[in-house]
């Protein structure tokens, strides 16, 4: 089993199959002092859950293949050591009022709309920690983000290798 700290840093599980989103998360969380445990699909995510002590997880709902992020979150919640792990579920596919927030909240996680900023992600992580600790109600399970009017291209993001 991996130590809860990697190079002295707490571990964060990132389940994201879009490469540019993954790179932005890794770079941003690295700057925040976290070591990222990556997973892009069902089996790597399950292995990461079993093999690592984690500080929190960020899980994309829409993944390639037959499994979605909510199934991974459900499996994580069933694993004894991660029942109380703070989790942020992200997606750009569900508009407000779709009902996904309630599904996420039932699994004791916070929903964050894509696109989001690093400060919004860290706010969501804190809200997820508060939800697990019982200091935040389930009515506060969606972090509203402001629409970004013009996104940089994937090539610009790769070249900059930083969060916009």
> What tens-digit pLDDT sequence spans the chain (164 residues)?
444 455 789 999 999 989 989 999 999 999 999 999 999 888 889 899 989 999 999 999 988 888 889 999 998 888 888 888 999 999 887 666 666 777 788 888 998 988 899 999 999 999 999 988 876 554 444 455 544 334 445 555 556 554 44
Report the alpha-carbon distance of residue 127 to residue 133 in Å, rounded.
Answer: 10
Q: Provide the Cα torsion 26, 30, 34, 35; round to 10°.
A: 60
State the pLDDT at residue 139.
45
Report the alpha-carbon distance of residue 73 to residue 130 in Å, rounded.
Answer: 18
State the pLDDT at residue 146.
45
State the pLDDT at residue 157.
54
Angle, helix 118-133 to helix 19-31, in steps of 10 degrees: 70
Three-state DSSP state, 36: strand
State the pLDDT at residue 149.
38
Report the alpha-carbon distance of residue 147 to residue 32 in Å, rounded.
Answer: 24
Report the alpha-carbon distance of residue 127 to residue 114 in Å, rounded.
Answer: 17
Could you give all domains of the chain from N- to C-terminal order, each with its CATH number? 5-156 (3.40.50.2300)
Helix (H) or strand (E) holding 31: helix 19-31
Find the DSSP H helices in 32-150: 42-51, 69-78, 100-106, 118-133
- Nearest residue to 114 via CA among 128, 99, 124, 105: 124
What is the residue whose two structure tokens read 């991996």? 2
């Amino acid at each position: 089993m991996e130590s809860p700290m990697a190079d002295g840093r707490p571990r964060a599980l990132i389940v994201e199959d879009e490469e540019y989103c993954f790179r932005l998360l890794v770079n941003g969380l690295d700057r925040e002092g976290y070591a990222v445990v990556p997973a892009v699909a069902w089996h790597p995510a399950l292995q990461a859950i079993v093999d690592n002590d984690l500080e929190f997880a960020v899980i994309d709902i829409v993944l390639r293949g037959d499994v979605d992020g909510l199934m991974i979150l459900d499996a994580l919640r069933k694993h004894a050591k991660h029942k109380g792990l703070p989790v942020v579920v992200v997606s750009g596919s569900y508009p407000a009022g779709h009902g996904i927030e309630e599904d996420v909240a039932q699994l004791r996680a916070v929903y964050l709309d894509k696109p989001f900023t690093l400060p919004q992600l860290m706010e969501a992580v804190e809200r997820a920690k508060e939800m697990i600790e019982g200091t935040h109600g389930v009515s506060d399970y969606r972090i509203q983000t402001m629409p970004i009017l013009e996104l940089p291209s994937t090539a610009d993001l790769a070249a900059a290798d930083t969060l916009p």
